[in-house]
């Protein structure tokens, strides 16, 4: 089957927002209005769609799907009656879910990577919040073109101007208003489109009737000024238009849109719209803006990757005729169909029944069913095309972040470093039945989320789960209960300490037993050296002249690795070290892999002890925003938590304190901050790096006096 939508009418977008700004409500409205638009012309269909919306709101499920497809005909074409003519103006949106909390950084980054454009939603009362900034900068890193939507203008205290000013001040000077609100708070009743010079109001029970009208008399001067600012901002990016404008000729709306489109896609301008999702105002023009200003796949540079063997740079154009390349960006469990692997096709096509190569795992996989997720249905499709987003049912060996591609044209699209978890908790199933369900639940959850790990405590047999923050683990435990009905006791959170060495040292390991019968003979010399923080572990074989036969060398590496995982100082895994095997000897009869493994482990322990082993702890970037009167208390408290203040800044009326603080000092900070600031402080925290633990504290940890 050929593709139904030309790729130019495709938009892969995400709705990005700080928690509570209204992402869910906006998404709901988007699905609602796009559902209706698809059904216009089908008599009495409207009611069914609305019923579905009510139900959906109660259950609140589909909108949390990793990707949802919907369709939109821009408002200027809704008058078309002829089905074919309508179809020719219809756009397909794939809306990719982006998590709202920075504890899920890797998920945020991965979703930013697969989307081509973002709608950033702000709370019109709070304006830019600390977390919006974090996500904004992540989007900058991935060069995601954006439009902004200032939501909640119906709320008491809302201000379009102030919110826009906070965007200018904290995020970007390139933001420009494309609309102005009509009224505010209780009287908020619609928006003025500055390009069209029209008032837009939203009538009908759910604001589904979009009515254009004249600009209110009392807004005319304000609109003229704002329109001028907008046009100046646009013509800046096009010489011809600029000349025209300077010569006193007003460019047409289409001309202005075309230039604004280019400038938005290259990130030079960020259009700002406004409304109230809850009160059903402003969402349809926002959808138009997605069509007009956010890119289709071919308008962005081709995706880059590397050849898995040669590491040579490769690119793939968003073209159905190029070799197939796709990124699996989310693995989820669906109650009806089982495991779903969400993917984005960058080039080529993917057909049901074909074979693809997973260049991350190295395995070939057969593609069974392919589905496209709609708001209220799941559509099974035969084929997916360049730019498409969908899900494969029942893939066995593919995890989040893997590349899938044509076996004869291998490419790796992404080499991501998955951050190591920094915090863990012990979980203990409440009953035998829970124990059985627990293993399955954790396996599923870990497949979905690469930053979440499960391990066992070898001594106690307990299960330990690790993740990126307290909230991350809380959510996992909550999902375990809700989705998998596992009842479990959860221990206190523990910091994921590590160990490393500070200097270079050498040591010998000898495991020789030669009394009676066949003996044991393993003998090695190792050198342990510190390497850069974050580099992990490297084992180097520098044996010359066969003093140890090749067949035993991997066993030495294994012994070293096992000893490293057990640690030297306090039982935490050792990292950031290079271990070189440079000498040793063997015995023709008595040598074995087992003997060399033990020798390797012994030599490593001895060398590491001599190489000044220390403990490392995760250090977090902490950003706190508080009213000035609390500044002293906040900085004092951070210092008492062994924190280092790095920057003091202004944030509108508030003060911002940026610091680095060890994670172990941060338990329960949310509560403490609330009580220190009468609930007026806010903070964000994110893993930064590992740092050496001061000696006295390391001793307390080793002695079990600290967690
Ligand atoms: P999310 O956390 O970003 O997904 O935000 P939600 O969509 O769940 O919204 C958070 C809260 O704000 C909910 O109580 C919504 O009803 C409310 N909300 C969302 N949009 C608006 C709006 O436009 N106006 C008002 N007054 N409240 C809104």
**Ligand 1 atom closest to Cα of 281?**
23
User: How many angstroms is it from 26 CA to the middle of ligand 1?
Assistant: 8
Provide the percentage of residues in the chain whose pLDDT is more than 70: 93
Residue 65: pLDDT band (50, 70, 90) is low
Token digits of residue 288: 């138009």
Q: Which of 22, 101, 125, 275 to mutate to test the pocket of ligand 1 (most atoms within 8 A of CB)?
A: 22
User: How many angstroms is it from 184 CA to the middle of ligand 1?
Assistant: 17
**Separation CA 386–CA 625 (nearest Å):** 44
User: How would CATH label the architecture of 7-299?
Assistant: 3-Layer(aba) Sandwich (3.40)
Fold match, 423-496 / 615-703? yes
Question: Measuring from atom 10 of ligand 1, which residue has the nearest CA?
Answer: 20
442-459 per-position pLDDT tens digit: 888 887 777 888 888 767
Residue ranges with strand state E in 152-197: 175-177, 179-182, 190-193
**Ligand 1 atom closest to Cα of 21?**
3
Q: What are phi and psi of 529, to 5 degrees?
A: -135, 145
Residue 440: pLDDT band (50, 70, 90) is confident
**Ligand 1 atom closest to Cα of 27?**
7
The predicted structure's pLDDT at residue 415: 65
**Separation CA 275–CA 26 (nearest Å):** 10
Q: For 361-381, b where at least 16 C-beta lie within 10 A, e where not — what string? A: eeeebebebbbbbbbeebeeb
Mean pLDDT of the chain: 88
The predicted structure's pLDDT at residue 68: 87
The predicted structure's pLDDT at residue 46: 39
The predicted structure's pLDDT at residue 53: 43
Q: At 561, which helix (H) or strand (E)?
A: helix 553-566
**Ligand 1 atom closest to Cα of 18?**
3
Binding residues for GTP: 17-24, 97-101, 151-154
Question: Measuring from atom 2 of ligand 1, which residue has the nearest CA?
Answer: 20
Residues having CB closer than 6 A to ligand 1 are 17, 19-25, 100, 151-152, 154-155, 276-279
601-619 per-position pLDDT tens digit: 999 999 999 999 999 999 9
Q: At residue 57, does pLDDT exceed 50? A: no
471-490 per-position pLDDT tens digit: 788 888 888 888 888 888 99
Q: What is the mean pLDDT of residues 182-200?
A: 97
User: How many angstroms is it from 126 CA to the middle of ligand 1?
Assistant: 12
Residue 707: pLDDT band (50, 70, 90) is low
Decide which of 2.40.30.10, 3.20.20.140, 3.40.50.620, 2.60.120.260 is the CATH code for 303-413: 2.40.30.10
Q: What is the mean pLDDT of residues 501-524?
A: 91
Residue 410: pLDDT band (50, 70, 90) is very high
Q: Higher confidence at residue 496 or residue 680?
A: 496
The predicted structure's pLDDT at residue 223: 97
Q: Which of 25, 125, 159 to mutate to test the pocket of ligand 1 (most atoms within 8 A of CB)?
A: 25
Residue ranges with strand state E in 352-398: 355-358, 364-366, 370-373, 378-381, 383-384, 389-393
DSSP state of 79: T
User: 10 Å Cβ neighbour count for 695?
Assistant: 9
Q: Which of 18, 20, 95 to mutate to test the pocket of ligand 1 (most atoms within 8 A of CB)?
A: 20
Angle at 304 between CA 298 and CA 307, to 5 degrees: 135
Q: At residue 38, does pLDDT exceed 70? A: no
Binding residues: 17-24, 97-101, 151-154
Range scoring the smallest mean pLDDT among 41-45, 557-561, 572-576: 41-45
Question: Measuring from atom 24 of ligand 1, which residue has the nearest CA?
Answer: 152
CA 545 to chain centre: 50
227-240 per-position pLDDT tens digit: 999 999 999 999 99
Q: What is the mean pLDDT of residues 118-145?
A: 86
Range scoring the smallest mean pLDDT among 39-43, 46-50, 105-109: 39-43
The predicted structure's pLDDT at residue 63: 41
Residue 118: pLDDT band (50, 70, 90) is very high
**Ligand 1 atom closest to Cα of 277?**
23
Q: What is the mean pLDDT of residues 190-204?
A: 96
**Ligand 1 atom closest to Cα of 17?**
3
User: How many angstroms is it from 123 CA to the middle of ligand 1?
Assistant: 8
Residue ranges of domains in the chain: 7-299, 303-413, 423-496, 500-611, 615-703
Q: What is the mean pLDDT of residues 244-257?
A: 94
Q: According to the CATH classification, is domain 615-703 in 3.30.70.240?
A: yes
Q: At residue 417, does pLDDT exceed 70? A: no
Three-state DSSP class for residue 295: coil
User: How would CATH label the architecture of 500-611?
Assistant: 2-Layer Sandwich (3.30)
Beta-carbon contacts of residue 170 (< 8 Å; ≥ 6 apart): 128, 133, 651
358-371 per-position pLDDT tens digit: 998 889 999 999 99
The predicted structure's pLDDT at residue 652: 65
Provide the percentage of residues in the chain whose pLDDT is more than 90: 57
pTM value is: 0.74
The predicted structure's pLDDT at residue 45: 37
The predicted structure's pLDDT at residue 36: 59
Tell me the longest C-alpha to C-alpha distance in the chain. Answer: 106
149-178 per-position pLDDT tens digit: 999 999 999 999 999 999 998 899 999 999
Q: What is the CATH number of domain 423-496?
A: 3.30.70.870
């Amino acid at each position: 089957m050929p593709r139904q939508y030309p790729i130019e009418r495709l938009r892969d977008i995400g709705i990005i927002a700080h928690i509570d700004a209204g992402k869910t409500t906006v998404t709901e409205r988007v699905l609602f209005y796009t559902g209706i638009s698809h059904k216009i012309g089908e008599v009495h269909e409207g009611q069914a769609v609305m019923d579905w919306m009510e139900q959906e709101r109660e259950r609140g499920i589909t909108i949390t799907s990793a990707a949802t497809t919907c369709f939109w005909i821009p408002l200027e074409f809704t008058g078309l009656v002829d089905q074919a003519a309508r179809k020719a103006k219809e756009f397909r949106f794939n809306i990719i879910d982006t998590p709202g909390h920075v504890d899920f950084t890797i998920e945020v980054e991965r979703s930013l990577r697969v989307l081509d454009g973002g709608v950033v939603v702000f709370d019109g009362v709070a304006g830019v919040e600390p977390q919006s900034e974090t996500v904004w900068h992540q989007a900058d890193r991935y060069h995601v073109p954006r439009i902004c939507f200032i939501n909640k203008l119906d709320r008491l205290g809302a201000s379009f101007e102030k919110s826009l000013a906070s965007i200018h001040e904290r995020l970007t000077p390139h933001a420009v208003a494309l609309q102005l609100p009509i009224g505010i708070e209780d009287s908020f009743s619609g928006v003025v489109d500055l390009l069209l010079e029209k008032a837009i109001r939203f009538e009908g029970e759910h604001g589904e009737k979009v009515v254009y009208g004249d600009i209110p008399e009392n807004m005319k001067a304000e609109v003229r000024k704002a329109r001028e600012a907008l046009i100046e901002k646009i013509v800046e990016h096009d010489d011809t238009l600029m000349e025209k404008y300077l010569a006193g000729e007003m460019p047409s709306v289409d001309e202005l849109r075309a230039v604004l489109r280019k400038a938005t896609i290259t990130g030079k301008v960020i259009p700002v719209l406004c409304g109230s999702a809850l009160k059903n105002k402003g969402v349809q023009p926002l959808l138009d803006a997605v069509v007009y200003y956010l890119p289709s796949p071919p308008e962005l540079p081709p995706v880059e990757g590397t050849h898995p063997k040669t590491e040579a740079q490769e690119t793939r154009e968003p073209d159905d005729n190029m070799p197939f390349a796709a990124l699996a960006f989310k693995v989820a469990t669906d109650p009806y169909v089982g495991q779903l692997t969400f993917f984005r096709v960058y080039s080529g096509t993917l057909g049901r029944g074909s074979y693809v190569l997973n260049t991350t795992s190295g395995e070939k996989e057969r593609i069974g069913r392919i589905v496209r997720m709609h708001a209220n249905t799941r559509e099974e499709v035969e084929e997916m095309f360049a730019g498409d987003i969908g899900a494969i049912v029942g893939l066995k060996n593919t995890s989040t972040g893997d590349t899938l591609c044509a076996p004869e044209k291998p490419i790796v699209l992404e080499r991501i470093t998955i951050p190591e978890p920094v915090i863990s908790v012990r979980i203990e199933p409440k009953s035998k039945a829970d124990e059985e369900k627990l293993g399955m639940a954790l396996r599923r959850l870990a497949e979905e989320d690469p930053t979440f790990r499960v391990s066992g405590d070898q001594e106690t047999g307990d299960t330990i789960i690790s993740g990126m923050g307290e909230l991350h683990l809380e959510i996992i435990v909550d999902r375990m209960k809700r989705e998998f009905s596992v009842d479990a006791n959860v221990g206190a959170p523990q910091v994921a300490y590590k160990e490393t060495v500070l200097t270079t040292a050498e040591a010998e390991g000898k495991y020789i037993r030669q009394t009676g019968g066949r003996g044991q003979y393993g003998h090695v010399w190792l050198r342990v050296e510190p390497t850069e923080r974050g580099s992990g572990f490297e084992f180097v074989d520098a044996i010359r002249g066969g003093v140890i036969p090749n067949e035993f060398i991997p066993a030495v590496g294994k012994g070293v690795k096992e000893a490293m995982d057990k640690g030297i100082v306090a039982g935490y895994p050792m990292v950031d070290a290079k271990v070189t095997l440079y000498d040793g000897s063997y015995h023709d009869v008595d040598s074995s892999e087992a003997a060399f493994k033990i020798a390797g482990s012994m030599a490593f322990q001895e060398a590491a002890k001599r190489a000044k082993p220390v403990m490392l702890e995760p250090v977090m970037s902490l950003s706190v925003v508080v009213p000035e009167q609390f500044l002293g208390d906040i900085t004092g408290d951070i210092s008492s938590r062994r924190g280092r203040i790095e920057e003091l800044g202004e944030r509108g009326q508030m003060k911002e304190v940026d610091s680095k603080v060890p994670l172990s000092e941060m338990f329960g900070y949310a509560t403490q901050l609330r009580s220190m600031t009468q609930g007026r402080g806010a903070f964000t925290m994110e893993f930064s790096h590992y740092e050496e633990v001061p000696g006295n504290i390391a001793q307390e940890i080793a002695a079990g006096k600290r967690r």
